[in-house]
Structure 1
Amino acid sequence: MKKELVIAVAAAGISLVSLGAAAYEQGDIVFRAGIATVVPGGDSDAIELPTDPPTILPGGVDVDNGTAISLIATWMMSDNWGVELLAATPFKHDIDLADLPVAAGSTKHLPPTVSLQWYPRGGMEGWQPYLGLGANYTTFFSEKVDSELGAVLGGLLDVTSAKLSLDDSFGLAAQAGVDIPLSDKWALNLGVWYIDIGTTADIDVTTGSGANARVSFDVDIDPWVYNVGVAYKF
């Protein structure tokens, strides 16, 4: 009985909030800000180290989660269609070897994404669910090789220095979300994206003899991005 009472009270409260919320209409600008977490879901090619014979790390690397502040703006082209720009402060990811308990390095990235959104309840008061499809450009920077990987490479290849670089990525993005009204202007925002992000990792090494070598492998990051924040309608 208590459970049913709590559900009824919550539903009534949501209904009251929804009734007082203005609809999204053509020309509106909706700004959203919150906390976004990138959860990589892809995989990595095997890593072949140029030893004699070659040393193969079949699991490649694992990319850890990253969290940053999200900054999102949508312009309503009509009551039901909008164009969204997703931006954020830089995400930082640690990178580990999948086959060994070794920290491989780290990187930062920015994932600007432009999407066309559909609002099925556009022009109506209350909750505003939406779906979107768009394009993502991810740029990587501040790549670093961890000292643990440096020690492994030093033992296998007599490496004296190593440098990591990641190619930028361009891919599709799909999203779903909802704005739950809190007032005429403010709403709670919940959103999720799936983004196609793939990159080639290059590790350039210098050995004690002065020889140079490059280890290259592809990494499909393909993350889910989860956002919790607030929305404000101008």
Structure 2
Amino acid sequence: MKALLPVALISTLCSSVVLAHDAGDLFVRAGFATVMPNESSDNVLNTGELELDNDTQVGVTLTYMLTEQFGVELLAATPFTHKVSTKGLGEVAEVSHLPPSVMAQYYFGQANSDIRPYVGAGLNYTVFFDEKGKGTLAGTDVSLDDSFGLAAQLGVDVNFAENWFANASIWYMDINTDVHTTVGTIDADIDPITFMASVGYTF
């Protein structure tokens, strides 16, 4: 028995702890999300299209597993803030937004697999706020209409301890808005790619 004890201990330490996404499980992921706008817009006073820079914030998702394969996820984050510019005018505005999204997800593999890739599709509602005119538009009123559109997602969960897993996911969001300024209204498609790296816990 004494001779078998070290073997049993080594076997226990080397065995993988499987990642369980069973029906009825609730899990939360938290990490950093980077929004990378893929923008296009009307030409602004013949100075070029609107351009938005990237921003990284804290992202959180909450998922409920309906079955071993199907889940529903809610995405939330701290507000993203982007500088808005054109090639000819430089920075003309700054805007913040929140992009809550609801996704229906399909998870590949078995519930006890230690790697679970998944795909998702759903809806995004983006709320714009704290718009500020800068540079040429400094001191003027700038506002963006909220947006409602489709969203798609790819991701993977990788187990590293009991109830704990690492996650990497990427979203595409269809975000269209009208930008209202003192020089007129500009139609803009932001359509960002969002990448998130996080750690998750299963309840």
Deviation per residue, 1:76-124 (Å, 9 max, x gap): 0000000000000100111011333x21110100000000000012423
| SS of 1:182 mapped into structure 2 | strand
Deviates more, 1:163-172 or 1:58-67: 58-67
**Amino acid of the structure 2 residue aligned with 1:227:** M
* Distance (whole Å) between structure 1 residues aligned to residue 161 and residue 132 of structure 2: 45
Identify the residue that residue 224 of structure 1 maps to in structure 2.
Answer: 193
Unaligned runs of 5+ in 2: 1-12
Q: Quote the offset at 1:60 in angstroms.
A: 2.2
**Residues 44, 218 of structure 1: 8 Å contact kept:** yes
Q: Deviations 1:15-71 (Å, cap 9, x if unpaired)?
A: x98831232100001100000000001211112xxxxxxxx3252210111111001
Residue of structure 2 in register with 1:25 after alignment:
22
Quick one: which amino acid aligns to residue 133 of structure 2? V
Report runs of 4+ in structure 1 exceeding 3 Å deviation. Answer: none
Specify the code of the residue in structure 2 equivalent to 1:28.
D
**Is the aligned partner of 1:136 residue 2:133?**
no
Kindly indicate whether the alpha-carbon contact (under 8 Å) linking 2:168 and 2:198 is maintained by their aligned counterparts in 1: yes
Q: Which amino acid aligns with 1:162?
A: T
Taking the TM superposition and a 5 Å limit, the aligned residue runs for 1:17-166 are: 19-47=16-44, 56-57=45-46, 59-100=48-89, 102-146=90-134, 148-150=135-137, 161-166=139-144
1:33 partner SS: strand
Hey, what's the Cα distance between the residues in 2 that align with 1:113 and 1:143?
Answer: 22
1:170-193 Cα offsets, whole Å, 9 max, x none, are 000000001111112111110000
Partner of 1:203: 181
What TM-score do you get using the length of structure 1 for normalisation?
Answer: 0.78
CA pair 173-17 structure 1, distance change in 2 beyond 3 A: farther
Over the aligned positions, Cα root-mean-square deviation in angstroms equals 1.6
Q: Percent identity?
A: 42
- Please show how residues 165-176 of structure 1 align to structure 2 within 5 Å: 165-176=143-154
CA gap 1:107/1:186 in 2 versus in 1, 3 angstroms: same
| SS of aligned partner of 2:137 | helix
Choose 1 or 2 for highest CA Rg.
1
Distance in 1, matches of 2:178 and 2:87, equals 17
Report if aligned partners of 2:19, 2:165 keep a CA contact under 8 Å in 1: no
Greater helix share, structure number: 1
Q: Which residue type is aligned with residue 165 of structure 2?
A: A
TM-score by length of 2: 0.89
Q: 1:115 is aligned with what amino acid?
A: M
2:7 matched to which residue of 1? none
Contact 1:167–1:199 (8 Å) recurs in 2? yes
How many pairs were matched up? Answer: 191
User: Residue 188 of structure 1 corresponds to which residue in structure 2?
Assistant: 166
Cα separation, 2, equivalents of 1:227 and 1:40: 14
Q: Which residue of 2 aligns with 1:233?
A: 202
Q: Which runs of 5+ in 1 are unaligned?
A: 1-15, 48-55, 152-160, 205-213
Pair 1:188–1:22, CA change in 2 (3 A): closer
